[in-house]
Structure 1
């Protein structure tokens, strides 16, 4: 079932974290932050919405990194119920696709919960001061091919954040599969 996150809570500051990347390194939010802002994406390996846009996520991540935006992705899905989202499979995806950004494992789901992540993909775009400025979608594609001439909404919004420190007032929420939460113990 498709889920959409809430609209952007401008100025919200994310709780810090320490998560292991698929490269074995530990990352905090400060480690990811770029001089012009930061983009954190909640994604996973198996979601058809993510799979449909992964090429464009990778393209936009590279282009944003060139503008001074730090980029990382986090997978918080329950790997027991969804083995495709295991750490080993995350590492294989990052390696095989040549991710230019860290792919982090939120094994206990505390980061996803503290950030109120709702779906995959879910995009959090922060300015250089660490204030949330974008919580919209990648583009108008959803889980389908992008329409001809589709605007690069995430890229354009984050370029604006890099240039001005402020995100666009009008944002369309992302849509995707719900985060696959672990059953309470």
Structure 2
């Protein structure tokens, strides 16, 4: 990783460490309400569209955060590995383009094209879904399991334990899916999301 990228990632981690973490929103074991958000291809996406899914890897991410950008290849890899197994990635951009213009819908479209995203990249312009999940950082991951009761939240936090070099020795999301597939609860069920704080609309 280039020195400038390391500097930005380090700054993002520092901001993350000093940011308040909300205890509101969905908790482990809660049934998640469906949503309908606009994808970069112009279509609207909801969880109900995935009739054959076993669950979802829901990731709040963005165009500009150095940590989120550093995770993009790993997010693509997650989707390629787990979508065929019934756990597709759905990415949501929670940032307000009025605060950070590079988070605009048009910039999201370009980012998805440049990186070859294999998953939906949805816009949450009014932070409605973001607030339901109480997401605080980019990236911030929520693993859902489809059950008879609905989509149950089973894991919240980081994708893995290495936001710097990209060589994790613990893959939290992968381990959580393995636990669910084995009939167990993820352990840990929560970890600390590391990244940039969400860019809320002014006044929120």
Q: TM-score when scaled to structure 2? A: 0.81
Residue 172 in 1 paired to residue 184 in 2? no
Conserved 8 A contact 1:5-1:175:
no
User: Take 1:4 and 1:74, find their aligned partners in 2: how far apart are those partners?
Assistant: 21
Residue 76 in 1 paired to residue 89 in 2? no
Pair 41,33 (structure 1): closer, same or farther in 2 beyond 3 Å? farther
Residue 23 in 1 paired to residue 44 in 2? no
Gaps of 5+ in 1: none
User: Which residue of structure 1 aligns with residue 123 of structure 2?
Assistant: 105
Gaps of 5+ in 2: 1-14
Which structure: larger Rg?
Answer: 2
User: Take 2:67 and 2:55, find their aligned partners in 1: how far apart are those partners?
Assistant: 25
Conserved 8 A contact 1:41-1:122:
yes
Q: CA RMSD in A?
A: 2.2
User: Take 2:181 and 2:84, find their aligned partners in 1: how far apart are those partners?
Assistant: 11
1:138 to 142, 159, 178: 159
Pair 6,81 (structure 1): closer, same or farther in 2 beyond 3 Å? closer
User: Which residue of structure 1 aligns with residue 171 of structure 2?
Assistant: 152
- Structure 1 residue 34, shift from structure 2 partner: 5.0
- Structure 1 residue 159, shift from structure 2 partner: 3.0
Conserved 8 A contact 1:34-1:68:
yes
Conserved 8 A contact 1:133-1:168:
no
User: Take 1:124 and 1:33, find their aligned partners in 2: how far apart are those partners?
Assistant: 19
User: Take 1:52 and 1:4, find their aligned partners in 2: how far apart are those partners?
Assistant: 23
User: Take 1:84 and 1:41, find their aligned partners in 2: how far apart are those partners?
Assistant: 19
Structure of higher RCO (CA pairs closer than 8 Å, 6+ residues apart): 1
User: Take 1:34 and 1:5, find their aligned partners in 2: how far apart are those partners?
Assistant: 34
- Structure 1 residue 5, shift from structure 2 partner: 5.2
Residue 184 in 1 paired to residue 203 in 2? yes
